[in-house]
Amino acid sequence: MAAKTSAPVRSRMYVRFSFADRVQHLLLLLSFTTLAVTGLVQEFAENPVSLFIIRLWGNVDNIRLTHHAAATVLMLIAIYHILGFGYKVFVLRQRMTMLPGFQDVKDALRAFAYNIGLSKTRPQMGRYTFEEKAEYWALVWGIIIMGLTGFMMWNPVETVKFLPGEFIPAAKAAHGAEAVLAVLAIIVWHMYGVHLKRFNKAMWTGRLTEEEMLHEHPLELADIKAGMDKPALEANALRRRQRIYYPVAAVVGAAMLFAVYGFVNGEQTAITTIPPQAATVEVFVPETPTPLPPTPTPLPSPTAAPTSEASNGTPSSPTWDSTIGPLFAAKCNACHIATISGGLNLSTYADVMKGATDGPVIIPGDSAHSKLVIVQSAGNHPGQLSADELALVKQWIDAGAPEK
């Protein structure tokens, strides 16, 4: 650039970013990069590059741990940033130069016109250009989205107390998509804006030369020269405002730190958070009629059973409803439901009598030739009846396999 070689002799430097700002940026850079790497390898876990990185980290649990640690750092940076913003605005009464306004829309249109040759001059911009504002607010927006969806995935049990369960997979989808967007924004937009267009080192050195100020932030330079960039601070008023701000910031900061603590420590994973069930529960419990005491007439009264047995003189024989149905439900239906195992469904009376695709398994009155008995008599079925149970089934078949 010709302007650069004929630079003015005056080489006054202007402070653009304070030391604290630069440390913030560095921490943001580190946490963002860590989050991006450890997040993307989870989002695209089957990709060979991801597998390589996961192996480098040891295992996916280490990746998750690192991701969570970086997320915590990012939350702390955000808190520091919010409190710092409050100090600048409420105590130092600085202007909110990052706020977008209509002027930014005009600047953007002007820059576009200049780039395609429709305008001879570039827009004159202040402390933050419209590009810088757009990038800053995209970052703020991104952190809010990632924080909310990250919370839902990190604390799913807590989340579903307030929201339907579908929000968890939805949060996962949004988190992954926003991550890709953020990484692309950094690679394309930020790379170009601060590294390619002109290698801008202000975020590291903290300074810009007068020439750079004139080129990129002419309105701010004019304000600085006119002494209008920062409001004049009256020492007493400043101290008074500090006395109000410090306790407020302490309370707000403590509340935010407490929120982060809850975020991070609320739940580990659903597996460790939900208390384990003491008793073993049946995973598959088919709908079966409630077993009734063996009575010839299906009376729900428990006193009916002894009476009928007494009148018969012998124990009543098993029926599907009373004995066999519940027995099969407990011992066979883990496998023999509608769709598998040779089409044999043992969950209802009608299905049992229908048999398998290759024929009936029960011949009423003839247990010896019933396939079910033959299969079970072999003694090595994946779901095996005990000898007593098998005897009961035989007794039932020989009695004509009654349903009731």
- Contact with ligand HEC (CB under 6 A) among 375, 395, 398, 399: 375
How wide is the angle at C-alpha 167 spanned by C-alphas 163 and 171, nearest 5°?
Answer: 135
Name the burial class of residue 290, with classes exposed (0-12), middle (13-18) and buried (19+) by CB atoms within 10 angstroms of its CB.
Answer: exposed
Residue labelled with tokens 């006193």: 303
The answer to whether the CB of 320 falls within 8 A of the CB of 352 is yes
Nearest to 143 by CA among 64, 69, 77, 45: 77
Q: How far is it, in rounded angstroms, from Cα 202 to Cα 194?
A: 9
**Least Cβ distance, residue 393 to ligand HEC (angstroms):** 7
What is the end-to-end Cα distance of the chain in Å, rounded?
A: 99
Q: Which span sits near ligand HEC by CB under 6 A: 86-94, 294-302, 303-311, 353-361?
A: 353-361
- 366-387 CB burial, b ≥16 within 10 A, e <16: ebeebbbbebbeeeeeeeebee
Binder among 78, 345, 376, 394 for ligand HEC (CB under 6 A): 376
Of 40, 54, 385, 401, which one interacts with ligand HEC (CB under 6 A)? Answer: 385
- Under rule CB under 6 A, which residues in 270-329 are in contact with ligand HEC? 328
Q: What CA–CA distance (Å, rounded) separates 302 from 296?
A: 13
CA nearest to 260, candidates 339, 175, 151 = 151
Which residue in the set 117, 275, 313, 382 belongs to the binding site for ligand HEC (CB under 6 A)? 382
Among 21, 299, 381, 403, binds ligand HEC (CB under 6 A): 381
Among positions 16, 133, 336, 394, the unique one binding ligand HEC when judged by CB under 6 A: 336
Q: Does 379 bind ligand HEC (CB under 6 A)?
A: no
Give the length of the chain: 404
Smaller CB separation from ligand HEC, 295 or 319: 319
Instruction: Pick between residue 202 and residue 361 the one whose CB is nearest to ligand HEC.
Output: 361
* Residue 394 in the binding site for ligand HEC (CB under 6 A): no
* Choice between 126 and 355, CB closer to ligand HEC: 355
Contact 210, 10 (CB under 8 A): yes
Of 218 and 326, CB closest to ligand HEC? 326
Residue 362 identity (one-letter amino acid): I
Which position among 45, 103, 246, 358 is part of the footprint of ligand HEC (CB under 6 A)?
358
Q: Shortest approach of ligand HEC to residue 318 CB, angstroms?
A: 14
When asked if residue 337 is in the footprint of ligand HEC (CB under 6 A), the reply is no
Q: Which residues contact 261 (CB under 8 A, 6 or more apart)?
A: none
Q: How far apart are CA 282 and CA 330, in angstroms?
A: 9
* From candidates 371, 392, 399, 402, binder to ligand HEC by CB under 6 A: 371
- Residue of this chain nearest to ligand HEC (CB atom): 383
CA distance 14 to 245: 29
Name the residue nearer to ligand HEC (CB basis): 353 or 356: 356
Rank residues 133 and 394 by Cβ distance to ligand HEC and give the closer one.
394
Instruction: State in angstroms the smallest separation of the CB of 378 from ligand HEC.
Output: 10
- CB atoms under 10 Å from CB of 390, counted, come to 17
In the complex with ligand HEC, the residue whose CB is nearer, 309 or 389, is 389
Cβ contact 204:17 at 8 Å: no
Binding region for ligand HEC (CB under 6 A) out of 84-92, 162-170, 239-247, 370-378 = 370-378
Q: Does 108 bind ligand HEC (CB under 6 A)?
A: no
Question: Is 341 a residue that touches ligand HEC (CB under 6 A)?
Answer: yes
Tell me the closest approach of the beta carbon of residue 359 to ligand HEC, in angstroms. 7
- Size of site (CB under 6 A) for ligand HEC: 20
CB 53 within 8 A of CB 37: yes
- In whole angstroms, the minimum distance from the beta carbon of 361 to ligand HEC comes to 4
Rounded to a whole number of angstroms, the minimum distance from the CB of residue 400 to ligand HEC is 18
In this structure, are residues 206 and 19 in contact, taking their beta carbons and an 8 Å threshold? yes
Contact 373, 393 (CB under 8 A): yes
By CB under 6 A, name the one of 152, 361, 397, 401 that touches ligand HEC: 361
Which of 145, 329, 344, 401 binds ligand HEC (CB under 6 A)? It is 344
Taking a C-beta distance cutoff of 8 angstroms, is the pair 32, 74 a contact? yes
* Tokens found for residue 19: 């030391």
Which stretches of the chain bind ligand HEC, using CB under 6 A?
A: 328, 331-332, 334-336, 341-342, 344, 356, 358, 361, 371-372, 375-376, 381-383, 385
